Each structure stands twice: as C-alpha cells, then as structure tokens.
C-alpha cells in the first residue's frame, strides 16, 4: 500500500548521487518534504533565514537537476517550483489562487497534437505544457 502522495527522501537522493550531506541541504530537504504546494525561492529563503540565498539557489538547482523538483513559470512568467512526486515525465496544473500544483500525464505530445489536428512542421525535440486552474478547494474568481 502506498500513500496518495508518496514523498521522496530528498537527502537520500543527493547522497545516492554522491553529494555531501550538509546541514543546509538537510534543512532545505526537510522543508521541501513538508511542502504541500508550490513555492518560490523567496518562500524557502524566508523560512530558512539563516541559510545564505546562494545556497538556497544552489540546493534547489541540485534537486532540479536530480529530477526531484520541478520549475515552471506562473501566468505572469514568475518562476515557481514544486516537488516532483512521480519522477516521470509529466506536466503541471497550478492553482492560480492557492499555488497548489497537480501533476498530470498525457499521451505523448506528438500523438496528442496529431489527434487534435494540429499541423506541426519539423521534428519535436521537447515540449512544455502548463495549465493554470482554479483547484477544487478554491472558490472561482471571475476577476480575470
């Protein structure tokens, strides 16, 4: 049996990859593991004021490289991060009100777009999809 949201042991990932287990990394890892929603670097930095910002950036970037954290733009382009729960290729739906992030998988993009009748020239190398949503727990705001 598995919980609905399996959480990676972030520190273990780094140690497995040969990185050192330092206390700043442990602190960031612990904090991220408790995150239920997406976050900004500023969020992390404010919650761990004793850790240098450069280290926050470096540590998040490390997690990003190791595939346990994802980065994507909000609607206004501002960078936003979240824990990757599956590790597999996926996309994100971000609640524009509360910052909750859900992962979703879709058919391979080529098939998806072909089925949709899109006419793509050339060979697809990579792709990005972001969905901005009102999550099921947030009242819908029609101000946009």
Which parts of this chain interact with DNA (CB under 7 A)? Answer: 15, 19-25, 40-42, 50-55, 57-59, 61, 71, 78-79
Q: Which is nearer to its own copies, 51 or 70 (CB)?
A: 70
Residue 51 touches which member of its own copies, DNA, none, C-beta under 5-8 Å by kind: DNA
Q: Which is nearer to DNA, 46 or 136 (CB)?
A: 46
Residue 5 touches which member of DNA, its own copies, none, C-beta under 5-8 Å by kind: none
Least gap, CB of 28 to its own copies (angstroms): 21
DSSP secondary structure letter of residue 79: E
**How is residue 141 written in tokens?**
């705001």
Q: Which is nearer to DNA, 40 or 134 (CB)?
A: 40
Alpha-carbon gap, residue 133 to 22, rounded angstroms: 37
Q: Which residues of 100-131 are buried (b: 16+ CB within 10 A; e: fewer)?
A: bbbbeeeeebeeeeeeeeeeeeeeeeeeeeee
Residue 143 touches which member of DNA, its own copies, none, C-beta under 5-8 Å by kind: none
Burial category of 67 from C-beta neighbours within 10 Å (exposed 0-12, middle 13-18, buried 19 and up): middle
Alpha-carbon gap, residue 57 to 32, rounded angstroms: 13
Selection from 86, 121, 91 nearest residue 108 by Cα: 91
Q: Which is nearer to DNA, 58 or 109 (CB)?
A: 58
Which parts of this chain interact with its own copies (CB under 8 A)? Answer: 71, 73, 75, 77, 79, 91, 93, 95-96, 102, 104-107, 109, 111-113, 115-136, 138, 140, 144
Least gap, CB of 61 to DNA (angstroms): 5
Phi first, then psi: give them for residue 56, nearest 5 degrees: -60, -50
């Amino acid at each position: 049996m598995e919980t609905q949201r399996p959480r990676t042991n972030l520190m273990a990932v780094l140690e497995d990859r040969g990185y050192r287990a330092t206390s700043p990394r442990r602190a960031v890892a612990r904090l991220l593991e408790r995150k239920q929603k997406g976050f900004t670097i500023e969020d992390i930095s404010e919650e761990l004021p004793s850790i240098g910002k450069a280290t926050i950036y470096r540590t998040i970037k490390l997690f990003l490289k190791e595939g346990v954290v994802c980065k994507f733009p909000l609607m206004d382009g501002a960078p936003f991060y979240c824990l990757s729960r599956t590790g597999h290729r996926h996309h994100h739906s971000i609640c524009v009100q509360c910052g909750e992030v859900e992962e979703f998988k879709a058919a391979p993009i080529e098939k998806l777009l072909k089925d949709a009748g899109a006419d793509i020239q050339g060979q697809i190398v990579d792709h990005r999809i972001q969905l901005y949503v009102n999550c099921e727990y947030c009242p819908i705001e029609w101000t946009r």
